[in-house]
Chains A and B, each alone.
Chain A
């Protein structure tokens, strides 16, 4: 077998996809033309058995269409709907796709339906961000060129419904793994913030000391990193590349592995941070200089996170 693309195609075309092989290969990045086929498998949205895939897909899409009809066929939960409609236009404001009316209406429906089906959490600000990489990846299957700047209203209604349904189910799978980030008191996030703090103390004691000397509390900068999976800190293309790896890391990667990615991310700026005072630290970490990040910067971050996880994940008892 030759190229990476060939390797992917070989796995994807087998009667039963070897998910471990697919994870292993995808960890280092999925070719953009194959993401819309690979992500649903990694997420467990579609079955590895190819003979069952088409049926499952049409069943899930039909199920979403019904859920959508039901949800909007009755009076809306006005408080929930209000929060969603004020957040949707503020989602990825720099990204032309998300200023598009068609994409925004889709996103509103996805968020609303997910929220009424998950009352323990409901819609929490930031979940809007998490739906968008899926939409963008699935959209790219239907268009020529860059999904980031395309006009989805040019697609047929059927295709738009397919993209919307696939985004919905993928978002649901993602959120299944991190629901305690969004329930009352957000214990999942609190746990990760605490862990990030403990790990920093071990991995970079000087930085840890400096932050505490300056009165910096980890929650002040890392809450958003965890709540939005670093989507506010790096570009969309970086996020999509990161998710190739996250989706390959297994079920708890958006919580456990993500903590190590945050640790590596913090570590990356250690030298600069040690020279800054309280407010400059917070300002820096709120808008870190990642604007020019390419895939290779992301890949370095992910490798560092992986190394840190390998060393520290089983060393929990030493930390506490």
Chain B
């Protein structure tokens, strides 16, 4: 099954935090999760994603308003040249597969590699098993995805990475866990970015040299220019 991706950026013009985030997902599943999160809508027949499409929503994390800028990226391989550009400088990624299709889960490995090749090393990745409402059609057991995630989070010496791949199951159809998925990954991104800010001043320089400003908490004094 083809994979679509979503890049997210979170910006701060009138918000508290600015960071950029990237989400990767499988075909229509990803668009469905995103549409549930940003517009609280579910549409069986939404059009296919062409190239990269944008969505946004604000969330409260740690009493701060975080605005998530989300890039929903096309599933088809032909679009990869365009979509991979959206990984650079992103701070988070959601990889969505369909729990009722083993083939879509099998693709996850390839997309993890895509992220490894194109995204910043400290990107927060969350694996999302969507369509949890299809209990009787489940093809990917929760435990299998869970252990896959743990396996993929190991460092070369066998220990767990301090930034492991997160895992959650959702249903864009009945809304289960969609909010939680975004809340969790945004919280993790926020904490990671806040820690970095404490350690190294008020900005992070990802490998491609883009500056992502994270410190300002007062309104109106930040230009978001760095985020794209």
Chain A interface residues (CB < 8 Å from chain B) = 82-83, 86-87, 89-91, 93, 99, 122, 124-126, 128, 182, 184-186, 213-217, 219-220, 223-224, 227-228, 232, 277-279, 282-283, 286
**With A86-B28, A186-B81: A220-B225 Cβ-Cβ less than 8 Å:** no
**A279 close to B27 (CB less than 8 A):** no
18 contacts between A and B (CB under 8 A): A89-B45, A90-B47, A91-B47, A93-B47, A124-B76, A128-B48, A182-B78, A184-B78, A185-B81, A186-B79, A186-B81, A215-B226, A215-B227, A219-B82, A220-B52, A227-B50, A278-B69, A282-B54
Chain B residues near A277 (CB-CB < 8 A): 13, 224
**With A215-B227, A283-B56: A86-B47 Cβ-Cβ less than 8 Å:** no
Q: A90-B47, A91-B47, A283-B56 are in contact. List 11 more A-B contacts (CB 8 A).
A: A82-B1, A86-B2, A86-B27, A124-B76, A125-B48, A186-B81, A216-B228, A220-B52, A224-B50, A224-B51, A286-B53
**B48 close to A283 (CB less than 8 A):** no
- B74, CB-defined interface residue at 8 Å: yes
**With A83-B2, A278-B11: A90-B45 Cβ-Cβ less than 8 Å:** yes
Chain A residues near B53 (CB-CB < 8 A): 224, 286
- B46, CB-defined interface residue at 8 Å: yes
**A223 close to B51 (CB less than 8 A):** yes
Cα–Cα distance between A253 and B153 once the two chains are bound (Å): 51
Chain A residues near B224 (CB-CB < 8 A): 215, 277-278
A100 to chain B, nearest CB (A): 13
Chain B residues near A91 (CB-CB < 8 A): 47
Chain B residues near A213 (CB-CB < 8 A): 225
Chain B residues near A219 (CB-CB < 8 A): 51-52, 82, 85
**B46 close to A93 (CB less than 8 A):** yes
A15 to chain B, nearest CB (A): 44
Other-chain residue from B43, B67, B76 in contact with A125 (beta carbon distance below 8 A): B76
**B228 close to A125 (CB less than 8 A):** no
Chain B residues near A227 (CB-CB < 8 A): 50-51
Cα–Cα distance between A220 and B2 once the two chains are bound (Å): 21
Chain A residues near B43 (CB-CB < 8 A): 93
**A87 close to B45 (CB less than 8 A):** no
**B48 close to A223 (CB less than 8 A):** no
